[in-house]
Amino acid sequence: MSSSQNNSAQNRLIWLIVAVIGAIAFGYVALNRGETINALWVLTAAICIYLIAYRFYSLYIADKVLKVDGTRMTPAFRHNDGLDYVPTNKVILFGHHFAAIAGAGPLVGPVLAAQMGYLPSMIWILVGVVLAGAVQDYMVLFVSTRRDGRSLGELVKSEMGTIPGVVALIACFMIMIIILAVLAMIVVKALTHSPWGTFTVAFTIPLAVLMGVYLRYIRPGKILEASLMGVAGLIFAILMGGHVAENPNWAHWFDLSGNTLTWALVIYGFIAAVLPVWLLLAPRDYLSTFLKIGAIVGLALGIIVLMPNMQMPAVTQYAFSGKGPVWAGSLFPFLFITIACGAVSGFHALISSGTTPKMLARETEARMIGYGGMLMESFVAMMALISASIIDPGVYFAMNSPIGSLNPTGLPDVALAASQTVSQWGFVITPETLNQIAADVGEKSIISRAGGAPTLAVGMAHIIHQALGGLGSMSFWYHFAILFEALFILTAVDAGTRAARFMLQDLLGLINPHLKKTQSLPANLLATGIVVASWGYFLYMGVNDPLGGINMLWPLFGITNQMLAAIALMLCTVVLFKMKRQKYAWVSILPTVWLVICTMYAGWLKVFSSDPAVGFFAKANQLKALLASGNFQPNAVFKSAQQVQQVIFNNQLDGVLMAGFMLVILAMIVFTVQACRKALATDKPTAHEIPYAPLPANADAIIKGAVH
């Protein structure tokens, strides 16, 4: 037997073992009833499925569906300008892509979805990413790379026509605004009246500026030095935050309300989006990447060492009733909407058609960066789900339910009221436990800290603290986790604001060509101002919502984000038809159909449902009737009639937006069918690709930076 045959047999045996281990672990988690499940089973099942999906399904897409060509020149080489188009080492580009796509979604969605139990959430995270999320990221990256790294709106315009392109561009912009508002709200919810957290996160801004100046002027190109300085600065920020919180002279400066933090974020978003990239955004990426990778790997190792049990039931009563306190709605479709980015995210299509295709050195590397990068994000989501499921379910519901549900009578002792309410739901918890956890993590209260971030931080602190044998206090690890999440999210807020500004300038350019010029300072400031004012309004709306904010904005975020993914996959389907590869189009059609069904059904329920807990207009009408009856009395939820009016308007606005997005999806389906039929009617490929040109002979030397 030859050595190649030996290797082939060994490979098959290894993959057979991985498949068997994955099947046993997944089967044990899925079929086990009445016995607590060790989190290690969940982790093992997930890792095995990721490995098999990457090795076999992504390779099938690369070789059979797309027919990637490793000899073909990419936009990075064609336009190598040292600015936007730069041939980049695949490992470095993987890091950049992952940092750009991994925002709040994979952290928050699974935490909120844990309300239904860990089993449905786990299944959707795994199935969703393998068949939909990673497919979208990979295919959009491939399509954009073959078209000079164009953005999603431009791609739709070139392959489907001008009208679909403008519709897609407007939809992308509106969805981006909602995404940014939700991201910012999660930061606000995590930092409200938390001097320690606020100081730590605020400290990273001058730290990033210092790193930017250091790399540009003091020690150009010395990334390792700047990185070590950044890590040291982060540790100092966390430790110093504890001292600031304990010092009465300093603490009040960082003990901020939700509204104050809203204004701070809006101002920060504006400044960050107009400053040069090298001064704030790029160094923040470094800091963010260190923390992201470090925290997730640390968390996975902590689970392996500690082997904690899943305390949340596999399936809770809310999976069937649809009356959950954290968010209302049935398992189908709302679970699939709540877990957005860990399974599939339209936001990623904006990155896969934005910066990444301009830096891709070889077509063959798109598989690792597009498909592999999304699998990595799904792994983050799985870690978040485990973290939320290993803490006491009573603590989980006390942390994530709106204060109006936990304390409907307005008792002064909030911990007592919350413990009584949650215990009535069947998840027994004492006020002493709630107060003790708050003291352990260095917070005044952990009750009604909706948004998912604090829950994840408690779970992470618990795992890492115990896995390290008590090294470092719970409060240190909790604030480390808050810093990790806030940096995660703020990177997306400032980079997203910049991306939204470019989109808006493209749209404004249709009215006045001068407004499209990104180098024009007045056009730049005008577009940035409109963007931050838009997401700032939704942020303010969410922060001041008496019903918790996340309940109202997260469904809007989840539905629209996955609608954007459906639009991106429709584009990929059209491209496959135009490449004359329609027999493989099921790869993109399958997830598209599922996403359209989920988002349209969820959208329909949010617009037309008569249940006030689900429907936007139903909620508005219920509150209108309350005011009209004259029976309204200020209570623990609504302190004034003005607050009721605000919630009525917010729900009506959300309902109108939802209906608008549903019309966009219907229009895009019509445009997609027309484009596919037109492609079938011709005998030759009609895809608008840049003609083939070979990679330069010295491609490797250019990637290494030896020559330009």
What is the pLDDT, as a whole number, of residue 221?
A: 67
pLDDT at 1 exceeding the cut of 60: no
DSSP state of 516: G
DSSP state of 513: G
Count of C-beta atoms within a 10 Å radius of residue 206: 11
Query: Among residues 692, 73, 58, which one has the least CA distance to residue 361?
Result: 73
DSSP state of 418: H
What is the pLDDT, as a whole number, of residue 84?
A: 74
Higher pLDDT, 385 or 412: 385
Query: What tokens were used for 394?
Result: 């009573």
Query: Among residues 657, 589, 585, 590, which one has the least CA distance to residue 617?
Result: 657
pLDDT at 275 exceeding the cut of 90: no
Q: Is 80 helix (H, G, I), strand (E, B) or coil?
A: coil
Torsion from C-alpha of 323, 329, 330, 336, nearest 10 degrees: -140
**pLDDT classification of 31: cutoffs 50, 70, 90:** confident
pLDDT at 649 exceeding the cut of 60: yes
Return the top range by mean pLDDT from 224-238, 537-551, 597-611: 597-611
Q: What is the mean pLDDT of residues 281-292?
A: 70
* Termini Cα distance of the chain: 46
Q: Please, are residues 457 and 201 in contact by the beta-carbon 8 Å criterion?
A: no
DSSP state of 582: G
**pLDDT classification of 156: cutoffs 50, 70, 90:** very high
Query: What tokens were used for 130?
Result: 């393998």
Length of the chain: 708
The residue behind tokens 């999304």 is: 374
Average pLDDT, the chain: 88
What is the pLDDT, as a whole number, of residue 550?
A: 66
Residues 178-207 pLDDT 10s: 888 888 888 887 788 889 889 988 898 898
Return the top range by mean pLDDT from 124-138, 318-332, 421-435, 495-509: 124-138
Average the pLDDT over each of 218-232, 354-368, 457-471, 579-593 and give the range with the smallest value.
218-232
d(CA 488, CA 653): 29
What is the pLDDT, as a whole number, of residue 362?
A: 95
